[in-house]
Amino acid sequence: MAKGRPKRTSMLDRTSEQKQRQGTVQELIEFVLPGARADQCPAWPPDVFAVAATVMKRNGAYVQCVVTGVGSSPAPEPLFESGWPRQATDVGEAWRKSVNETLKTFAGAGKLSIGDALKKTNIPGAVRDAWRIVCDLASISLETSARDRTLIRALIQLSSYADEASYGIGLGKLGGAGDRFGSSATLFLQVNGRRSFCHLVNHQKARVLGKKHTPQQGLTLRSLTHHLSLCMPWEVEPQWYDLDAPRLDDVLNFLLLPWPLEINARDFQCVDDVAEGLGPRDHRLFKYERPPIKAAEFRRRLSAAIDLAVTRVSQLHAVVLPELALTVEEWKLAERIAIDRGVMLISGLIDDVDDSSRLPVNSCRIQMMSLPSAGKHASKLSTAHARPPAYRQAKHHRWCLDRSQVLQYDLGGQLPAALRCWENSHIGRRGIFFAHLGGWLTFSVLICEDLARQDPIADVLRSVGPNLVMALLMDGPQLAARWPARYASVLADDPGTSVLTLTSLGMCRRSKDSGTGKAGSRTIALWKDKLYGTREIELAQGSVGCVLSLGRERREEFTADGRGDGKNTEVPVFSGVFQL
């Protein structure tokens, strides 16, 4: 190789190098959708959304969808003219129609696969134009891309068109009979392991899920869509289940059983053998274990509670118990009763074990299949022949009992108040499920700490915005001034999720008020919805549980670019409590 004076780089070269170091929009698009080309706009709306939203999530350009301030200097021109919402809806509808017609013509037995058929879609010109603009301008750096109004406009257009085209995605058969778009979406969801509705975009690069709430406060990327949510493929594995049966009506009745009704301090114990190898004793591990209830007695108590509940309401939909409420054996008994009675069952488990490591894990289980179906077997499942599988979710964060909590729950005789005592629960792969059932309810379950420690789950939870989150707690009284209410308020404000928190009466009564030092509260649950605010739910003396009645209210939500959802947002709201 000939030696010579080092080549001097020109200003242009330096700028180019700098741009490359910063990363360009093109690189990001290429990462999300390898081989993306200006003349080949993806036909599947969630794919287009994944690309546009990922770029906007990175450069923050979406904030320009509205004029956010006026002053002495001239305000920037709005990105969109006044007729934009109508235009976006029309383009989205045309796209959906085109996808449906293409699938009807080309996909099916003896024809093409859904993926191949989609390539023949006649994509609306407005979508293709916006896609071409994005690809043509993509050579600019990510940093400067947030100032390019033409690019920003095209990105928001793509996001909104894809959103309008994806109406009702993941929400049963909202698109009506023969809606091949919805059916194709479920195929892609399954192929992606229930993590994303995308077809071309790999779920390890970006995930697109359905959505129930559009935040009406603040301005984030989530403010831009009604039907699609971008979930970055970070550590939390979302799982979306779309159960299109059974149908739920406008009234839901949940039986809240704050069991155990009493908790003995001796149920909390240090786990010495495990803690030995952990070095200096500045912390310990603890476990919670209570004596099991005899099977016959447990069956009698649960059946009696349900019997009592159905004297107050004609249809009971769910039985909900708090964190660490049941042993695995009790869960099995409870599950059989729930199946016999045709009600959903949700409960935290005490003695569950992680699948892979065989270590103890604090988990919850959700039995949804016990609800009656719409078919000819609408009456009940026979437990003699089939026990439907329940969904299982592990807790993401361990409970840490510090000095203040050891004193609060009067556990100083069992746990060292001078040390931090961590719950002996294995933390594995973190996941969260979103179940859409009954035509309008999309719900998730969180376990205690997972409501308070919002990282890493908050991003996914807020993106999807389920209309109900149930938080199963092992906590003190559910007062409006305490932490569960604060975090419930955060979710109720943004994205607008209704939240139910439930603790055991035993733990509630153990908790001493920090001011007065008195224990014995009976406020076992708290309800929070964005329309009517907070409700503390107290268990009356002598009651073993209570029925929480919820109603469904429809509200219209708007995206930041001014598109309404036609009053299709469904909010579960508080409708009453009946003591048992």
Partner 1 sequence: MAEVTGRIRKFLFFQEFFSSRLYGIGVLDFQRNWSTIRFMSNEQFDDMAVLSTFARLRDEGLLNASDLEALREQLKTSWGRKVFNALRNNTAPKPEDQRLLERFSTAFAA
Q: Which residues bind partner 1 (CB under 8 A)?
A: 103, 107-109, 111-115, 173, 178, 180, 183-184, 186-187, 189-191, 193-194, 239, 241-246, 328, 332, 352-355, 365, 368-371, 373-377, 381-382, 385-392
Least spacing, CB of residue 374 vs partner 1, in Å: 5
Q: 23 in helix, strand or coil?
A: coil
115 φ/ψ angles, rounded to the nearest 5 degrees:
-60, -45
Residue with smaller CB distance to partner 1, 100 or 497: 100
Query: Quick check: 43 and 123 in contact, CB under 8 A?
Result: yes
Strand-pair partners of 553: 571
Residue with smaller CB distance to partner 1, 1 or 109: 109
Q: Which helix H or strand E contains 253, and what residues bound it?
A: strand 251-256
Query: Quick check: 549 and 529 in contact, CB under 8 A?
Result: no
Residue with smaller CB distance to partner 1, 190 or 311: 190
Residue with smaller CB distance to partner 1, 246 or 545: 246
Encoding tokens for residue 85?
Answer: 């919402």
Least spacing, CB of residue 59 vs partner 1, in Å: 34
Query: Quick check: 171 and 210 in contact, CB under 8 A?
Result: yes
Query: How far apart (Å, rounded) are the C-alpha atoms in residues 505 and 257?
Result: 9
Residue with smaller CB distance to partner 1, 135 or 325: 325
Residue with smaller CB distance to partner 1, 131 or 197: 197
Query: How far apart (Å, rounded) are the C-alpha atoms in residues 448 and 394?
Result: 11
Least spacing, CB of residue 161 vs partner 1, in Å: 24
Residue with smaller CB distance to partner 1, 125 or 178: 178
Least spacing, CB of residue 178 vs partner 1, in Å: 7
Residue with smaller CB distance to partner 1, 152 or 236: 236
The DSSP output letter for 9 is P
Cα first-last separation, the chain: 90
Is the Cα dihedral 374, 375, 376, 378 positive or negative? Answer: negative
Residue in this structure with the two tokens 């934009």, named with its chain if needed: 84
Least spacing, CB of residue 192 vs partner 1, in Å: 9
Least spacing, CB of residue 116 vs partner 1, in Å: 8
Query: How far apart (Å, rounded) are the C-alpha atoms in residues 326 and 350?
Result: 6
Least spacing, CB of residue 432 vs partner 1, in Å: 12
Least spacing, CB of residue 104 vs partner 1, in Å: 9
Pick the closest to residue 54 from 206, 180, 236, 257 (CA basis): 206
Encoding tokens for residue 548?
Answer: 């929480």
Query: How far apart (Å, rounded) are the C-alpha atoms in residues 352 and 364?
Result: 9
